[in-house]
Structure 1
Amino acid sequence: MEFKNWLAGDGDTQPRTLEPAPKWKWLKAGKVKGRLYGGCLPSLVQLCGTKYLPDYTGQILLLELPEGDKPGTPFSLDAARSAMADLRNAGLLEKVGGIVVGRPYMYDEKMTAAFEKMVCDQCYGIEIPVLAGVDTGHSDPMLTLPLDVMVSLDSEAMEYEQFVILEEVVKA
C-alpha cells in the first residue's frame, strides 16, 4: 500500500515503495450475485432522485471515498456518515443485494474501523453481504473494477473466490 502525491510535479520519476495492502474484510456475511453499479459516495448521493441513478434493486453497490477537501487528505468521516445516511434515507441501501466498499483513501486503522462501523450502522436491519477494504477507487494499489457487469459475493468461499467478476469485460 502506498500513497502517491500526484500533485507534487515529479510524475513517475520518484521510486515507488510497494507494501502489501490490508486484506479484505467481511462486515456482513452472505452470498449474492448481481450487476455491479456505484462509485464515489458523494457522487452517488448527487444522483439520488435523478433519472441518472440506475435501478439498484438486487444489484451490488460499489462504494468508495474520494480525497478530502484538500489534496492528499482523507475524506471526512462525518461527511461519509452524512452521505451514507442520505443513501439510506433515499431507500437505496434497502434495494441492493450486496455492497462492496473500497479501502478509504488515507485512513489509518482507527479511521478505517470507525468508517466500517458506520457502514454497518447504516446497514442495520438489512440482510445483505458487505465486503470492505477492497483496493478500488481512490486507493493505492488500485484495482480497476468494471461497472454494469455480473459479479458474485460469497463470504463462505475460498479467499480468491469471495468477490468474482462473472462475465467478460473486454472483448476483441
Structure 2
Amino acid sequence: MTTLSYPPKPSPGDRVAVISPGAGLPGLLPRPFELGLERLRKEYGLEPVEYAATRKMGSTPQERADDIHAAFADPDIKAVIASIGGDDQITVLPLLDRELIRANPKPFFGMSDNTNLLMFLRNTGIVGYHGATVMCELGRPGAMHPRTADSLRAALFTSGEYELAPAERWNDVNRDWADPATFDAEPETRPGNGWTWVNADRVVEGRTWGGCLEIVGWLLMADREIARDLSEYDGGVLLLETSEEMPSASEVFWTLRNMGERGLLQRFSALLMGRAKTWSFERPNGPEEAARYATEQREAVLRAMRVYAPNTPIVFDVDFGHTDPQLVIPYGGFVRVDGPARRITVTY
C-alpha cells in the first residue's frame, strides 16, 4: 500500500509555481490567465512564478516535464498550480522523476487533464488537490464564485476538516475568452437542485481516487499509474466527473463497465459523481437538451453501479468538476460521506 501524506501548506507571501502540464493556453488567451494571476496576488497574497512552457502552446512533453521538475525542486516554491487542462498530459508522465518529486512534496492544484499528475502524485505518496486552475476558477469573469474562493483558501492555507455544501446557484455555459466583453460581468447562474443520494444508509470515510472520467479511461487503456494490486483502493472514495467533451451516456456506461470488469468499481466505499457539464461551444444545449443529457448520464452511472457495486453509496451533482462553482477535493486525502446526515466532509 502507498503511504500517503499531506505536503506542507503555503502561507500568504509565499511564491507558488504556475505551470501548464497540459496545454499552453495562457499564450493564446492571456486575459483569464492574467486575471487569475492578479487574484492569486491580491486575494490570496501569493506570488505566482511562471516557467518556460507556461505560456507556450505546443510545448513538448519534455519541456513540460522540465517545468514540473523545476517547480518541485525549488525550495522557494511552496505550491504548484496548473494554468488549465489539456488533452495529452499522459505523454508527460513517463518523463517525470518520481524520486525528485517524492523528495520535494508540495501541494498541487489542478483538474481535468491534470488528473494525470494528480494520479502520479498519489502513487508517489503525495496528496494533491483536484480543482482550482488559474484560467478557469481564478480567472472567472467578474469575480471568483464565493464557494470556489472559500474552498480554495481553505485547501491552500489550512489543515483539517471542511464541509462541502450543494451550490445554491451554478453554471456550465461558457463565454468566449477572446471577447473582452466576457469579463465585464459574472456568468449568469441558475438555481441548484441539491445533491442526489443513492444507498445513503451509512457513513464511510476513505482516501480519494479517480478524477475526470475521460482521463481515467485513457490511463486505464495505457495501463499507466494504475496500481498492480487493486486492494490499494479498498475502502476508498471514487471521484468521477465529465468534461466539456460531453461523452455520451453509452461512453460513460462503457468506461464504468470496464472499470467493473477490471475489478475497480467494487473496491470503493462510495462514489461522488460531479455535476455533469451539459453545454459546450460545439454543443450549445438549451435547457431541455441539457437536462436530458444530465439525466441520461446519471442513468448510465446507475446502470453500471447496479451490476458491479449495487450497494455502494453514490452522491450525484457534487460541484467538483467542469461546472461552476468548483469545490476543491483532496486527491488521495480523506473524504467522509455521511449518508444519513446527507453531509460530505473533506480533510485538507
CA distance in 2, matches of 1:101, 1:48: 19
Counterpart pick for 2:293 among 85, 89, 111: 111
Cα shift at 1:8:
4.0
Q: For 1:1-29, what per-residue CA distance to the aligned partner results, in whole angstroms no more than 9, with x for missing partners? A: 22342544136514222333331111332
Q: For 1:53-102, what per-residue CA distance to the aligned partner results, in whole angstroms no more than 9, with x for missing partners? A: 2532110000000112xxxxx33222212211121111110111110000
CA distance in 2, matches of 1:5, 1:116: 22
CA distance in 1, matches of 2:176, 2:264: 35
Listed as ranges, the gaps of 5+ residues in structure 2 are 1-169, 280-289
Say whether the 8 Å CA contact 1:75–1:105 is kept in structure 2.
no
> Which residue of structure 2 aligns with residue 5 of structure 1?
174
**Aligned-partner residue type, residue 53 of structure 1:** I
Say whether the 8 Å CA contact 2:248–2:297 is kept in structure 1.
no
Say whether the 8 Å CA contact 1:98–1:129 is kept in structure 2.
yes
Counterpart pick for 2:258 among 86, 101, 114: 86
CA distance in 2, matches of 1:63, 1:14: 33
Deviates more, 1:78-87 or 1:8-17: 8-17
Residue 37 (1) aligns with residue 209 (2): yes
Counterpart pick for 1:144 among 308, 328, 336: 328
Greater RCO between the two (CA within 8 Å, min separation 6)? 1
> Which residue of structure 1 aligns with residue 236 of structure 2?
59
> Which residue of structure 1 aligns with residue 306 of structure 2?
124
CA distance in 2, matches of 1:21, 1:14: 24
Secondary structure of 1:53's match?
coil
> Which residue of structure 1 aligns with residue 344 of structure 2?
163
> Which residue of structure 2 aligns with residue 20 of structure 1?
191
Cα shift at 1:37:
1.5
Structure in which a larger fraction of residues adopt helix: 2
CA distance in 2, matches of 1:120, 1:76: 15
Residue 153 (1) aligns with residue 337 (2): yes
Listed as ranges, the gaps of 5+ residues in structure 1 are 69-73
**Normalised TM-score (structure 2):** 0.42
**Aligned-partner residue type, residue 91 of structure 1:** G
**Looking at CA atoms only, which structure, 1 or 2, has the larger radius of gyration?**
2
Percent identity over paired residues: 25
CA distance in 2, matches of 1:19, 1:110: 16
CA distance in 1, matches of 2:243, 2:206: 25
CA distance in 1, matches of 2:176, 2:260: 34
Cα shift at 1:151:
1.0
**Aligned-partner residue type, residue 234 of structure 2:** T
Number of aligned residue pairs: give it: 159
**Normalised TM-score (structure 1):** 0.81
CA distance in 2, matches of 1:98, 1:84: 14
Say whether the 8 Å CA contact 1:36–1:149 is kept in structure 2.
yes
> Which residue of structure 1 aligns with residue 274 of structure 2?
102
Q: Which runs of 4+ in 1 moved over 3 A?
A: none
